[in-house]
Amino acid sequence: MPAPPRTVDAAERALRLKAGFWSLAGGIIGAAVGSWRFGPPGLFLGAPLGFGLVFLFSRALTGAAGKAFGAFLAPSGDSTPHQREYSQPQSLALRGRYEEAVKAYEGFCLEFPDEPEPYLRIARLYRDELQRYDDAIQWFKKARSHARLAQADEITVAQEIIEIHTLRLKQPTRAIPELARLAERFPAHPAAAWARQRMGRVTGQRPGRRSGPNLTLPTRHLLFPLPASRFPLPSSLFLPYPITCHTATQNGMVSSATM
């Protein structure tokens, strides 16, 4: 079976042609100088010597110019990195082969674990095409825990998880931990105010207020043989309304505390 023809860039072909012309001119000049200085032997020595020297010099010169021009067009350092291509999984997804596309993206996740894009594309395939919402949430969280996310991307991931809970699964209470995390992690960002507002809608409370129905839990579920101070609640626990807890002390007395 014949080998496929090699493709040569047009610019590279032009550079080679120019180098050939320059080298030919260098060979003629070398032959003339050699013949003038050393007679007929100089003709045969000067021609190849002039050709080779000019060819090497021209190739080095064009290579350095190409590198400098490339550095001008795409400088290194703080510039935007090259975007990786995901043509294979994209092609599979366009043909409706979503499971195969997910597998292909998983390969990119293993090869480039710091890049968020394949994680996010898997999550969106599960959400938008396969309607497997729990899997979508799992992959959004993997993007957050495994890859390197910028602040804007992390906020977007949190909002997409919240959207799945509230609009796709119709279970807004499951979005409360994600809303609380978003408000706590980016308190100065407008997304924090949005998260607090949404959390207030879910819990039925105005953002920033802790008033509500006083819920007294049954005493039989909260009686301990030791003082309640042995079981402190974490300070970061969010309670949308006060809860009255009853605990038993060592002398048999029952005390109440409202949180």
Same domain, yes or no, for 103 and 172?
Answer: yes
Residue 185 maps to a domain: yes
Same domain, yes or no, for 64 and 92?
Answer: no
Question: What is the per-residue pLDDT for 32?
Answer: 79
Question: What is the per-residue pLDDT for 251?
Answer: 52
The two structure tokens encoding residue 41: 């032997």
Same domain, yes or no, for 253 and 227?
Answer: yes
- Across the chain, the runs of DSSP E, i.e. the strands, are 215-216, 243-248, 254-258
Q: According to the per-residue pLDDT averaged within each range, which of 17-21, 105-109, 203-207 is highest? A: 105-109
Bridge partners for 257 per DSSP: 245
Which whole number is the average pLDDT over 20-41? 75
Same domain, yes or no, for 150 and 170?
Answer: yes
Same domain, yes or no, for 60 and 120?
Answer: no
Residue 4 maps to a domain: no
Same domain, yes or no, for 94 and 188?
Answer: yes
Same domain, yes or no, for 94 and 184?
Answer: yes
pTM greater than the 0.75 cutoff: no
Residue 3 maps to a domain: no
Q: How far apart are CA 98 and CA 92, in angstroms?
A: 7
For the chain, the domain total comes to: 3
pLDDT at 221 over 70: no
Same domain, yes or no, for 184 and 228?
Answer: no
Q: Residue 207 — very low, low, confident or very high, per pLDDT cuts 50/70/90? A: low
Residue 159 maps to a domain: yes
Asked if residues 182 and 155 have their Cβ atoms less than 8 Å apart, the reply is yes
Q: According to the per-residue pLDDT averaged within each range, which of 63-67, 89-93, 213-217 is highest? A: 89-93
Same domain, yes or no, for 198 and 246?
Answer: no
123-163, pLDDT tens digit by residue? 999 999 999 999 999 999 999 999 999 999 999 999 999 99
Residue 238 belongs to what domain range?
Answer: 215-258
233-254, pLDDT tens digit by residue? 444 434 444 444 444 455 545 4
Average pLDDT over the chain, rounded to an integer = 74
* Of residues 201 and 241, more confidently modeled: 201
Residue 48 maps to a domain: yes
Q: Residue 56 — very low, low, confident or very high, per pLDDT cuts 50/70/90? A: confident
Residue 78 maps to a domain: no
Q: How far apart are CA 164 and CA 182, in angstroms?
A: 15
Question: What is the per-residue pLDDT for 84?
Answer: 78
